[in-house]
Amino acid sequence: MNHPALARYPLALPGHHLLQVLHESENAIIVLASAPGGQPVVIKRFKFDASKLDQYLVDEFLMESLALGLLAHRGLVRPIDAGLLAGALYMIMEYVPGHTLRRQLSLMPLPPLEQALQWFTEITLALGEIHGIGLLHQDLKTSNILVRNDNSLALLDFGLETRLLVATGFMREDEIYCTPYYISPERIIGDPPDERTDLYALGVILYELLVGHKPYESTSLEELLKKQAIAPIPLLPATLHAYQPLVNGLLAKFPENRLQSTNIVVRLLQDIKQK
């Protein structure tokens, strides 16, 4: 397959036939391919030169990819394999037909409440699986969530490569690796991420699912980050008032005041539904 990105960042995996470039970001190329058995897979080929990395960083990436693959949770796009070939670090993932939740919400900005809560629950449970093995997502947003053809969701694009981007110079250590609309206040000031950082992004998605737009919006990056840091948590419409404690608990400005785990989030949602 001829493609300018692959000409610059080649990848030739034995037995794999590259079919189509699905996406190109600043850091990686996403390619649809045919595996040796004929089944479709997705390959993420990172652009940085991994041959210059310390071996322990590569080993950590490979082990974390394996750990995610062993979860076999339907709410996660499962890594199948990962490796290093001629300086190119790659991850092979299952191919999930569908489109992103971001696209879905652009077509249907305000899903029915039952559907919104179902999606939110699926995202929360999948995030809990990641946290359960000691990993973080670090870039949770609607464009990193796939809507399968049966309307169920699957998370993708886990933040496994963040340390590698810093080590190879693709990202500064003090640079924020996430999306401004979903960034937590503590990340804006440079504090390290933890589970509660992901939970803040989860709160942004909840608000978006319930109301049809993000809690904080601006055409100015500076103004948007300021709102994330200090603006009051927006109030839900009166008809959704019962879910305000959940929104407040996820969008709390200080991580110590935030809901502390996905298990707590699920329990609070169940309590609200039962009232």
Catalytic residue among 49, 59, 81, 139: 139
Burial class (CB in 10 A: 0-12, 13-18, 19+), 3: middle
From residue 51, give the alpha-carbon distance in Å to each of 30, 89, 168. 20, 9, 10
Rounded to 10 deg, the angle between the 262-274 and 195-211 helix axes is 30
> How far apart (Å, rounded) are the C-alpha atoms in residues 124 and 211?
18
b vs e for 173-197, b when ≥16 Cβ sit within 10 Å of the residue's Cβ? eeeebbeebbbbbbbbeeeebebbb
Length reported for the chain: 275
Which backbone phi and psi does 42 adopt, to 5 degrees?
-115, 130
DSSP string, 216-241: S--SSHHHHHHHHHHSPPPPPPGGGG
Active site residue 139: yes
Nearest to 1 by CA among 45, 37, 65: 45
**Residues annotated catalytic, as ranges:** 139
